[in-house]
Amino acid sequence: MVLIFGLLGCLSARGPVPTGTPVPVTTVVTLVNPEAGQPIKPTDTVLGTFQSHFESHGWKLESMTAAGDFHQLGTSKRRAQWLMEHTDEDLAVLIETEARPRSQLGGRFQWVVDASIIVVSEESEPTIRHARFPTTLPHIHQSELDALQAVAPRIAAQAAGQIELHQK
């Protein structure tokens, strides 16, 4: 029995060890309020979460602000193509999020954040991953930005996995 636990301890998942210079990854993170349909600029704290997670994988997040008409480009694929056209890097990531309140349970407020992670590069077709991240916030006055901040580490982990798959 002890041998099994010892063996399982050796099999723990570890991320890649960064080597050399970090690979720059142009990244756009968007947040939309579904009720108003208006984009909301993510906070520096959210972008910092993505930056630190990317650095642990040997990438350097090059944050890019979406242009005013960015959300009017139609589909996510079209916005990802726009991103690739407007960057000098070989790899770009578009993370589109939408946060909405779900319910109240015992004085806590449940939210759900839907995320689409699109990785594009010059060499291959875009890869797309959709994920839903539930979270609970303690106060009624908290907003979409707070919900995004609460799930940002999980979205960053999904984005890192998507980049690794895209690079293979």
18 three-state secondary structure: coil
DSSP secondary structure, 21-50, as one string: SPEEEEEEEEEEETTTTEEEPPPHHHHHHH
Rounded Cα distance, 149 and 147, in Å: 5
Extents of the domains making up the chain: 22-167
Residue 30: how many CB atoms within 10 A of its CB? 20
Residue 119 and residue 77 in contact, taking contact as beta carbons nearer than 8 Å: no
Rounded Cα distance, 126 and 106, in Å: 42
125-167 confidence digits (pLDDT tens): 888 999 999 999 998 889 999 999 999 999 999 999 999 888 8
94-136 confidence digits (pLDDT tens): 999 999 998 877 778 899 999 999 999 888 888 899 999 999 9
Rounded Cα distance, 124 and 42, in Å: 28
Place of tokens 């909301």: 40
**pTM above the 0.85 mark?**
no
User: Out of 1.20.120, 3.40.5, 3.40.50, 3.30.450, which CATH number does the structure's domain 22-167 have?
Assistant: 3.40.50
